[in-house]
Amino acid sequence: MKKTVAIGFLGTQLDFAGKGSQRWEKWRPTVGLCQQEDLLVHRLELLHDARSASLAERIRSDIAAVSPETEVRSVEISLRDPWDFEEVYTLLHDFARAYPFDIENEDYLIHITTGTHVAQICWFLLAEARYLPARLIQTSPPRKKEIANTVGSYAIIDLDLSRYDRIAQRFQREHDDTVSFLKSGIATRNSAFNGMIEQIEKVAGRSRAPMLFVGPTGAGKSFLARRVYELKRQRQQLGGRFVEVNCATLRGDSAMSALFGHVKGAFTGAQSERPGLLRGADGGLLFLDEIGELGLDEQAMLLKAIEEKRFFPFGSDKEAASDFQLIAGTHRDLRQWVQEGRFREDLFARINLWSFDLPGLAQRREDIEPNLAFELERFAQEHGQQVRFNVEAKRRYLAFANSPDAHWRGNFRELGASLTRMATLADAGRITEALVDEEIARLKQSWGHGSETDAAARALGAQADTLDRFDRLQLNAVLTVCAQASSLSEAGRLLFAVSRQEKKTANDADRLRKYFARFGLDWATIRRGL
């Protein structure tokens, strides 16, 4: 059987009860620890400073009288300020590193009743981090009605949370609630998307590092960034504002001024000082959508602001400060842009620590149905009117939405607009088959094709009739993905997402270019036809 070893501070107040026999009439935590009937302490490591040596000796003698099986080792320490967190933690950390723990033959308990509150916190941190392979033990004085009892009681605290099912279940519920919050309560079914949200939830709660959301326009980058901000604010990790910037709208001097601010007279028309959006995000979260559209000068200044939390407003020789957290969004293939010299490699490395690919609606068709309910609920909140589908109308709309004819180039934004149109036109709060048919025709017209024309036919013309059905179906699927992508590289990355991981050098654009060459197609021709 393993021996029990207790480690704790000498209680200079609680353990002191005089020198005479009256001390046995009072509860003393260190002595009481060794008097428990169902707990035999084989060895006690008693920490104290030089000034308390005589009290430590008296406690050792009293323990020998009530528990002769207990060996008391006096451990003299040098502690100038027991309320200095850094000093106490350093001392106990050094003690833990030097102590010859023998976990095969001994069980260890940390007595947290004695010592300052700072010492108790440090004991906890060291045990939780497993620098001390021990459980915590707390002794308590006897209750008032137990007048004759000077032993008191004890409780052992095991920090292994995996042993506490109800706590583990509560953590799991809180985790599930957080993931649901990031998804706005939408019961999404796409496994890749759900896995990505799980990771974002962990990163958002544990890291202040920048995040990069990559995905086509309308995939929900801005919406998700705001949800991450709201989550961090709920957890008291942020106190400032959410500031959103679409970098595609910034050009020239206005880009510098909007982001970093300017001083009066910095350029023609600068009649007053402007703080800039980075300073507006101080203490909060800055979302830079379409970050790839920033010029190289703005990229250089942004890198400095991210790393140093300081930057120069336009036209100023005095630095400004802003401590913001960053989420960037883009539909570009920034790796390709780095190779082309259009995006700084050092900035890309800084914002690419946590990169998440948000798939477009065409890659998440199983999530169309749960998003219908979300969009109709949002319509009800904004317009004060509940709208529902007829059963047949919903079936017909979902059949089209999940078919190859539905391109969803605008992704979830386009789906939301589609639902808003039908809800607005619905009489008596019901979306009918007739409304669905009108909306399907409207969507097809906006995508520039008739109901009998497929993507392969538009791209190949009469040559499409010479294709096997297999090749035609495959080409249609490839072209559907291309309709969601802004570049050949992005389309290749989406199409070869699995096999590219096995290649040392992934040249997705070249693979896709060779595929199209089989049909006499190129990217320019395809984009004109989509």
Q: Which of 37-51, 126-140, 460-474 is predicted with the least confidence, judged by mean pLDDT?
A: 460-474
Query: 341 pLDDT band (50/70/90 cuts)?
Result: very high
Decide if 34 is inside a domain: yes
Assigned domain for 232 exists: yes
What is the three-class DSSP state of 290?
coil
146 and 241 assigned to the same domain: no
353 and 372 together in one domain: no
The pLDDT score that the predictor gives to residue 363 is: 86
Is 233 in the same domain as 349?
Answer: yes
> What secondary structure letter does DSSP report for 428?
T
- Which amino acid appears at position 99 of this protein? Y
DSSP label at 403? S
What is the pLDDT of the chain when averaged over all its residues?
Answer: 87
Judged against a pLDDT cut of 90, whether residue 404 lies above it is answered with no
Number of domains in the chain: 4
Whether residue 273 is contained in a domain is answered as: yes
Domain with 396 in it: what CATH number?
1.10.8.60
Task: Please tell me the least confidently modeled range out of 20-24, 175-179, 207-211, 439-443.
Answer: 175-179
Of 426 and 275, the one with more pLDDT? 426
pLDDT digit string (tens) for 426-470? 998 999 999 999 999 999 888 875 433 467 766 776 566 667 888
In this predicted structure, what is the pLDDT of residue 116?
92
Q: Is the pLDDT of residue 167 over 60?
A: no
Average pLDDT on 373-389 reads: 91
Residue 192 binned pLDDT confidence (cut-offs 50, 70, 90): confident
Question: Residue 170 in contact with residue 198, Cβ under 8 Å?
Answer: no
Q: At 46, which helix (H) or strand (E)?
A: strand 43-48
Task: Check whether residue 189 and residue 303 sit in a common domain.
Answer: yes
Looking at the domain assignment, is residue 36 inside a domain? yes
Last residue of a domain, one of 447, 463, 481: 447
- Tens digits of per-residue pLDDT, 91-133? 999 999 999 999 999 999 999 999 999 999 999 989 888 888 9
Task: Answer yes or no: is pLDDT of 198 > 70.
Answer: yes
Asked if residue 164 is part of any domain, the answer here is: no
Please state the rounded mean pLDDT for residues 53-67: 94
Task: Give the per-residue pLDDT at 530.
Answer: 60
Of 331, 357, 383, the last residue of a domain is 357
**Residue 410 CA: distances (Å) to CA of 215, 246, 406, 503:** 11, 17, 11, 32
Same domain, 347 and 387: no
3-state secondary structure at position 282 = coil
Co-location of 95 and 72 in the same domain: yes
Identify the CATH number of the domain in which residue 13 sits: 3.40.50.10770
Q: How does DSSP classify residue 429? A: T
288 and 185 inside one domain: yes
User: In the numeric block, which tokens belong to residue 450?
Assistant: 């008739």
Question: Are residues 20 and 58 located together in one domain of the fold?
Answer: yes
Cα 241 to Cα 233: distance, rounded to the nearest angstrom:
9
Q: CA-to-CA distance for 222 and 238, rounded, in angstroms?
A: 18
Q: Which CATH number do you get for residue 278?
A: 3.40.50.300
- For 38, the 3-state DSSP assignment is coil
Q: Can you give the pLDDT at residue 172? A: 65
pLDDT computed for residue 499 by the predictor: 82
**Sign of the alpha-carbon dihedral angle for 35, 38, 43, 44:** negative
pLDDT at 334: 93
Does 174 map to a domain?
Answer: yes
Q: What is the mean pLDDT of residues 499-525?
A: 81
Q: How many of the other CB atoms lie within 10 Å of CB of 127?
A: 22
144 — pLDDT class (breaks 50, 70, 90)? confident
Q: How far apart are CA 100 and CA 7, in angstroms?
A: 13
Same domain, yes or no, for 387 and 333?
A: no
Choice among 8-22, 76-90, 249-263, 264-278 with the minimum mean pLDDT: 264-278
Structural domain of 506: 455-529
**Beta strand pairing call for 285-289 and 242-246:** parallel
pLDDT of residue 164: 54
Domain boundary at 334, 357, 380, which?
Answer: 357
In a shared domain, residues 217 and 255: yes
Give mean pLDDT, residues 483-509: 80
384 and 296 in a single domain? The answer is no
* Contacts of 176 by beta carbon, 8 Å cutoff, 6+ apart: none
Query: What pLDDT does residue 392 have?
Result: 94
Same domain flag for 39 and 57: yes
pLDDT at position 171 = 59
**pLDDT class of 274 with cuts at 50, 70, 90:** confident
Residue 390, pLDDT score: 93
